[in-house]
Amino acid sequence: MRSVSALWRTIGMVVTVAFMSACRASEYEYVTWKVDFSSRPIYGKSPQCVGIPEDLRLCHGVGYAEMLLPNLLEHETMGEVKQQASSWVPLVHKRCHPSTQVFLCSLFAPVCLDRPIYPCRKLCEAVRDGCTPIMEAFGYPWPEMLICDKFPDHDVCITMAPNVTEAPETTGPPSVCPPCGNEMKTDTMLEHMCASEFAIKAKIKEVKRENADRKVILQKRKKLIKQGNLKKKDLKKLVLYLKNGADCPCQQLDNIANQYLIMGRKVDKQYLLTGIHKWDKSNTEFKKAMKTLKTHQCPEFTHTFK
């Protein structure tokens, strides 16, 4: 690992990290204060500098080639890192904050330096505030392992670049409801299928507004694609809710003549709509996703979001 002794002697300065490539360097900065690292080791075992593998999709190509293992979330093997990090790829695709990937990769795949550098608390808070509404639409709370109070406020840490705002501007409802804006791409569909507990093929009978949500009533005839924890007796009377989706656009719910691939998960006593795609076997990406699903191994989301 390269020496950064000059960095640790710098006090009260903002230093752009020299190792970053031009494509993403502007997003990574270290804010440094005088800190004593000599009191005790941060890791239970000595960290290793390893290459970021191509199938670590959350962080491959993020702007640097090597990471520390164990990482800052105490994942000790690359297999564990890949499994847990894959749960977050759909959130990055939602672009809920410009620094979502920067924040997550600083923890899942910390850059290979002589000392581990955590994200700044303000960076965590900005990403949390921008992405929590998206996560809640899918029935996921902001997880305890990412509680922002645990990250440094006046310490060596990764902060946002000056041209990135601390919170995204909110001038009204989102341009597209989160479950409705997924691309018809094989990888994207599989990621959202994994993030959902069940998936079915069905037509929509009726869509109603219910307080801040939209209530989606399905026609009687349905086909299970992924059963998950959905019991067949519940399938007959299944009603889904688009959480906080009363005002955001959803093209799929405006045209209920089509058949759809409908994904969902149960939260408390409600079944939430987490994804919806037109059932289109003539689409190459859709057909590939349905075929791949039979053998696709999903990450364990229940271990990540707790």
pLDDT tens column, 120-144: 999 999 999 999 988 888 888 899 9
Q: What is the pTM of this model?
A: 0.69
Spatial distance between the Cα atoms of 167 and 3, rounded to a whole number of angstroms: 34
Whether residues 122 and 201 share a domain: the answer is no
Between the CA atoms of 266, 269, 275 and 276, what dihedral angle is there, to the nearest 10 degrees? 120
pLDDT in tens, 69-107: 999 999 999 999 998 898 898 888 888 999 999 999 999
Whether residues 43 and 131 share a domain: the answer is yes
Between the CA atoms of 226, 228, 229 and 234, what dihedral angle is there, to the nearest 10 degrees? 0
Determine, yes or no, domain membership for 287.
Answer: yes
pLDDT in tens, 31-50: 433 333 333 344 456 789 99
Query: What CATH number corresponds to the domain at position 117?
Result: 1.10.2000.10
Query: Cis link prior to 299 (omega < 30° from 0)?
Result: no
How many domains would you assign to the chain? 2
User: Which of 100, 128, 159 is the last residue before a domain boundary?
Assistant: 159
Whether residues 155 and 230 share a domain: the answer is no
Determine, yes or no, domain membership for 172.
Answer: no
Determine, yes or no, domain membership for 169.
Answer: no
Which structural domain, as residue segments, surrounds residue 214?
178-304
Whether residues 144 and 222 share a domain: the answer is no
Whether residues 152 and 107 share a domain: the answer is yes
Determine, yes or no, domain membership for 165.
Answer: no
Whether residues 55 and 194 share a domain: the answer is no
Query: What CATH number corresponds to the domain at position 260?
Result: 2.40.50.120
Higher pLDDT, 247 or 10: 247
Q: What is the residue whose two structure tokens read 């994942």? A: 75
